[in-house]
Amino acid sequence: MPSDRPAARRRFLRFSVTSLLCAPLLAQHSPSAFAQGKPTAAPLKIGIIGSGNVGAAVGELWVKAGHEVMFSSRHPETLKDMAAKLGPRAHAGTVAEAAAFGDVIFLAVPYSALPEIGRDNAQALSGKVLIDASNPVARRDGPVAEEAMANGIGKTSLKYLPGVRYVRAFNPVGAGDLRRLSNPGTPSIGMPMAGDDAQAVKTASRLVRDAGFEPVVVPLARAMDFAPGTAIFGRPTPVEELRQRLAPAR
Ligand SMILES: NC(=O)c1ccc[n+]([C@@H]2O[C@H](COP(=O)([O-])OP(=O)(O)OC[C@H]3O[C@@H](n4cnc5c(N)ncnc54)[C@H](OP(=O)(O)O)[C@@H]3O)[C@@H](O)[C@H]2O)c1
């Protein structure tokens, strides 16, 4: 029987080249990459300011996606156990330490804390992508929330956090729903996002996907469209429906 070794070698080489070319694509899209805690690209360093219901939930999703996360508190010792349970990619620190640590900052605090956080960490936060999940709620946050609801959340947040590359996301989805509905790799729930800095929106969108949701982005001026009191707020919405609801008015 004639030997087919050259043909077999060609098939092997073709398979090897195809595998090499496709590997990055597979790593980017394969759900199993998420399941193994491998990030879709180089992992990011994320500083979380406000590690309560939302900060803890989103931070945990990002640790599981392979990112380095520093959770912070004004009492960082209270976060040590949580960080230890999440493994070596999770850290606990002060607010100033998280602001310095993160290439990206996630803010999840009572909206009334924005002026103080912006003032005390101005230098560390300047130029960084900051994803804000904090909601202005007048009965809880007082005049700063009233200002945001009257003048616009984006405009007011940037007044108190000058110099950051600001994106709103995660604010209309409850912490329990974030944990329950997260589906990295094949997200079915849309995440309303608002921002005007294209590079910051790109980074934030990647992190929304890594957390298991699909970004649906509008300009920052439209952050009010998914603020407290709107139909979208507190109602996790399938991607296509969310795209329709947030489509620009014709
Ligand atoms: N709960 C939800 O389901 C949900 C969903 C989406 C968005 N949100 C919004 O996300 C924000 C946080 O909600 P949450 O439920 O996570 O609240 P939370 O559980 O009370 O956590 C808020 C955290 O903010 C920190 N904080 C408060 N004042 C601060 C200050 N001056 N400087 C630094 N840190 C400060 C507190 O940390 P320490 O006291 O440890 O320092 C606290 O752990 C709110 O604006 C809320 O409207 C909530």
**pLDDT digit of tens for each residue in the chain (250 aa)?**
334 444 445 544 443 433 333 333 333 334 444 444 455 589 999 999 999 999 999 999 999 999 999 999 999 999 999 999 999 999 999 999 999 999 999 999 999 999 999 999 999 999 999 999 999 999 999 999 999 999 999 999 999 999 999 999 999 999 999 999 999 999 999 999 999 999 999 999 999 999 999 999 999 999 999 999 999 999 999 999 999 999 987 6
In a domain, 25, yes or no: no
Domain holding 180, by residue range, is: 40-245
50 lines ligand 1 (CB under 6 A): yes
For the chain, how many structural domains are there in total? 1
Residue 88: the pLDDT is: 98
Ligand 1 contact, 52 CB (< 6 A)? yes
* Token pair in block for residue 156: 């007011």
Q: What is the pLDDT of residue 248?
A: 86
Global pTM reads 0.88
Is the CB of 182 within 6 Å of ligand 1? no
Domain for residue 138, yes or no?
yes
Residue 17 lies in a domain: no
From the CA of 106, how far away is ligand 1's center (Å)? 11
- Please give the pLDDT value at position 41: 82
Taking the CA of residue 177 as reference, the ligand 1 atom at the shortest distance is: 3
What pLDDT does residue 40 have? 59
In a domain, 175, yes or no: yes
| Atom number in ligand 1 closest to CA 55 | 16
The answer to the question of residue 80 being in a domain is: yes
Cα 111 to ligand 1 centroid, rounded to whole Å: 8
Q: In whole angstroms, what is the distance from residue 95 CA to residue 70 CA?
A: 9
CATH number at residue 116: 3.40.50.720
Tokens of 109: 């605090």
- Give the C-alpha distances (Å, rounded to integers) separating 187 from 89, 155, 175, 194, 198: 24, 30, 17, 19, 22
Does any domain span residue 6? no
Contacts 24+ apart (CB under 8 A), 196-200: 196/154, 196/220, 197/129, 197/165, 197/166, 197/167, 199/129, 199/165, 200/129, 200/165, 200/166, 200/167
